[in-house]
């Protein structure tokens, strides 16, 4: 079974560590890196080549929407799931190329199902996934 390579991008260490503890027990998911802001994410994407990026929206240095735009310009095949408490950025995230959006307080199963659905998509198919 191919493992889903994940990069977690959030300025909150607690959020990064929490996502790591939620995802690490799943054998089909591999956390390959963590980034503290959008600029850090861009640097790490070039080295790590994740399948999915879990991206916060509001971060210092560079926010998630701008980082999404820049990453998608170079790596359109990477799936980016916006994972945030700030729902006001949904339209901007879609326009930037995000593949999905979930609130940080979503159930664990919903996060896992969404990640697996994104990973199963071929190429650069962009049917935006939103919470139910």
> pLDDT for 29-81, tens place per residue?
999 999 999 999 999 999 999 999 999 999 999 999 999 999 999 999 999 99
Per-residue confidence (pLDDT) for residue 90, from 0 to 100: 82
Q: Reply yes or no on domain 4-120 having CATH 3.40.50.150.
A: no
d(CA 37, CA 109): 26
Mean pLDDT to the nearest integer, 68-97:
91
Q: Model-level pTM?
A: 0.92
pLDDT value at position 61?
92
> For position 79, what pLDDT does the model report?
95
Q: How confident is the model at residue 129 (pLDDT cuts 50, 70, 90)?
A: low
Q: Which residues neighbour 121 within 8 Å (Cβ) at sequence distance 6 or greater?
A: 79, 99, 127
More confident residue, 88 or 78: 78
Residue 132 pLDDT exceeds 60: no
For the chain, what is the HEC assignment? CCCEEEEEECCCHHHHHHHHHHHCCCCCEEEEEEECCHHHHHHHHHHHCCCEEEECCCCCCCCHHHHHHHHHHHCCCCEEEEEECCHHHHHHHHHHCCCEEEECCCCHHHHHHHHHHHHHCCCCCCCCECCC
Residue 98 confidence (pLDDT): 93
According to the model, what pLDDT value does residue 2 have?
85
Band of the pLDDT at 124, cuts 50, 70, 90?
low
Average pLDDT over residues 91-98: 90
Tell me the backbone φ, ψ of residue 115, rounded to 5 degrees.
-60, -45
Of 2 and 72, more confident? 72
């Amino acid at each position: 079974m191919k493992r889903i390579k994940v990069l977690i991008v959030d300025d909150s260490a607690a959020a990064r560590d929490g996502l790591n503890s939620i995802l690490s027990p799943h054998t089909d998911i591999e956390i390959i890196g963590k980034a503290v802001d959008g600029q850090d994410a861009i640097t790490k994407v070039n080295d790590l080549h994740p399948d999915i990026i879990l991206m916060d929206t509001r971060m210092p240095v560079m926010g998630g929407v701008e980082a999404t735009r820049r990453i998608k310009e170079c790596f359109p095949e990477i799936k980016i799931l916006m994972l945030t408490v700030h729902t006001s950025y949904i339209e901007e995230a879609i326009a930037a190329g995000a593949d999905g959006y979930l609130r940080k307080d979503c159930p664990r199963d919903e996060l896992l199902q969404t990640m697996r659905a994104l990973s199963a998509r071929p190429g650069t198919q962009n049917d935006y996934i939103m919470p139910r």
